[in-house]
Structures are given as structure tokens and as C-alpha cells.
Amino acid sequence: MQTLQVNLGERSYPIHIGERLLDSVELFSNRIRGKQVAIVTNETVAPLYLERLTRTLGSYSVTPIVLPDGEAYKSWQTLQLIFDALLGARHDRHTTVIALGGGVIGDMAGFAAASYQRGVDFIQVPTTLLSQVDSSVGGKTGINHPLGKNMIGAFYQPRAVVIDTATLDTLPPRELSAGLAEVIKYGLICDAAFLGWLETNVDRLRGLDNMALTEAIHRSCAAKAKVVAQDERESGVRAILNLGHTFGHAIETHQGYGVWLHGEAVAAGTVMAMEMSCQLGWLQPAERDRAIRLLVRAGLPVVPPADMTVANFLEHMAVDKKVLDGKLRLVLLKGIGEAVVTGDFAREALESTLCVDYQALTQKLGA
């Protein structure tokens, strides 16, 4: 087992990474302060891991809360199901909420924990690659709104993150690729050497090689923990973690939540962010092309939906968390490993980026 620390003063917590950690009583008991536990999961994950985790927590009073699966259910209505179960089982302020699942479960369980009786403890147990390397770390919680993704929520740190790498054995290939989009992001924004490592090892990652996956998860979590420690509430540098997300969230919102997986939308959005960086003269086309080839090798889409117009993108991008005083800010690259957050660009550059024929660009690369 490997352990990292997210350093946030009194809100600091460990990230444990290893195989069969779902069976470790000690990892959980060290972070549970009361006698009540609520395990929030979904209809897909519950048959795989709910009984096992419940056995591990046998000395506690466990309330299972099984939600419908999918991004489309990341809503107020589904959130109420968590509150209904907590209140129905009379959970008090010493309860601990455990999120067992992917990013949707982690975000909703965390938001419920932040809200229930004005805040109870929670533990992240992510079971998808995307949630293991991204959403489970850093304390972002929330739900979607029909007008914008993740626009309602709270910053609320977990007591611990427990990453059992063996849960990836049951992850569908499409979900694994979606997680790789976030892994590749870390190489692009702050770790050029890691990007090179990914180019060498992407096939091992897609083949579920445990050593490669553990290395990728560890390096990704370490990168995110470092950024979060500097800027917990995304008032500055933390925004670089959103490379490709403004374009990607527009895709998710327009297509309907769940049609494109989050990582798929981020991958296509990352290509758009790199293209705009090229148009501004900040990134070399060869660097953009290098990243496109890696995203394709990871099994990810690099072309935005054909039915989305410039107007569609602009409409959805106007409702983005990085908009300040009515001005859109984007995460762009000044080189591999060097991300910037800026609103200092001409609207013409953005519109030109949205008009690029990404299908032709990709075909030209032979990717």
C-alpha cells in the first residue's frame, strides 16, 4: 500500500492506494468517529462491492443507500434519496457517509455529507479510474443543473480516500479510457515527464496492468494533492486542473448528461483548448499533435459532436464556474507541462477555435 497526504491543516487527510483495501478494517476504523455508517453506492457497484465493504464494517451500524446509476441522476431528486435514508435510519451528527462508486456517487455523497445536519464525516472509496485520480481528491462535491454541470455544491474535504486498485478489474473499457483522460491531463498541465511515461505505458494501462495503474494513480493523486494544498477553493492555481473542462462541460450539457462520459468530453475539450493555445502562439502544433495521438491511443474521442454549433458552445460556456464579472476564463497551455488560466484572449480566437474541422485535423495526423 502507498499513502499520500493532502496537506490542508486541520482538514488534512490520507490517500491510500493498493490492492484489496476494501478488506482493511483498520483503514476505515481509524477515520470513523461514531457508531453509524451510511454507504452510498449505485445499482451497478452495489452487487460488486457493497456486501464486501459491509462485512469489513461489521462492528458498525451500516445503512446501505443504493442510487440509480448515471450522470443523469446527479440531481436534487436523487440527493433527496440520501437524506431520506439518513433521516429514516436516524443518523446523528457522529455518522460517517462512505461514497462507494465513481465520480457521480462521490460528488453526491460528499454534498449530502456537507449538508446533513450541517456537516458530517465522509470517506471516499472510488471505484473508477476517473474518480480515483480526480474527483475523490480535493473536496469538490455537488450536483448538476439543467443549465450547467456541477454548478450547485460545496467544498467539503473527506476524512480519507481509500483507493482499491482491484476494483478496476470490473471497470468497462470505455470507463477506463474516460479515466485516462484525467490522467493525461496531469502530464499536460504540470508534469511533462509523466506525459512521456504515459506514452510508453498507455497500452499497459488499458490492459489493466496493476503496477502501471498504481504508478499512474499515485502520480496523478500526488499532482492533484499538491495543487489542492496550494489553493483549496479554486481561487487561483487550482483552476489549471480544469484543462479542457470548459469545452467539455459544454459538450456534456448540450448532449445531455451521460451521453458522453465526463472523461470523453474532457478529451475532446482538451484538444480544443490545445488548438486555441496554438492559435494564440503559445503551443507548438507538434505538441498539440503529440497529445492528440496519446488521447487516441487511450481510446478517447478527440472530435467534438458534429451537431454542436459555435453558438451552442458559447451559450453553455457562458455558464461556467470560471466566469468572473461576466468574463470567460479558460485553461490553456504555454507548453507541455505549463498551464495558465486566462481571460486575456480575443473573442475571435475562441470563435476560430470552435470553427476548426477537428475531424480533418485528426485524419491528417493518421490518429
Positions marked catalytic = 118, 140, 182, 224, 234, 238, 242, 245, 249, 262
Q: Which amino acid is at 69?
A: D
Count of H helices and E strands in the chain?
14, 11
Q: Give the cell for residue 244.
A: 479542457
Report how far residue 89's alpha carbon sits from residue 66's, in angstroms, rounded to the nearest whole number.
14
Taking Cα atoms as reference points, which of 169, 182, 150 lies closest to residue 71? 150
Cβ pair 357, 291 in contact under 8 A? no
Distance of CA 330 to the CA centre of its chain: 18
Number of CB atoms found within 10 A of residue 51's CB: 11
Q: Give the cell for residue 284.
A: 507548438
| Residue 278, phi then psi, degrees to nearest 5 | -65, -45
Cβ pair 320, 148 in contact under 8 A? yes
| Order of strands, sheet of 2-6, starting from the edge strand that comes earlier in the sequence | 2-6, 13-18, 160-164, 121-126, 96-101, 36-42, 61-67
Task: Please list, residue by residue across 150-167, b when 16 or more beta carbons sit within 10 angstroms of its beta carbon and e when fewer do.
Answer: bbebebbbbbbbbbbbbb
Determine the length of the chain.
Answer: 367
Helices (H), 152-309: 173-190, 192-206, 210-230, 245-255, 262-279, 285-297
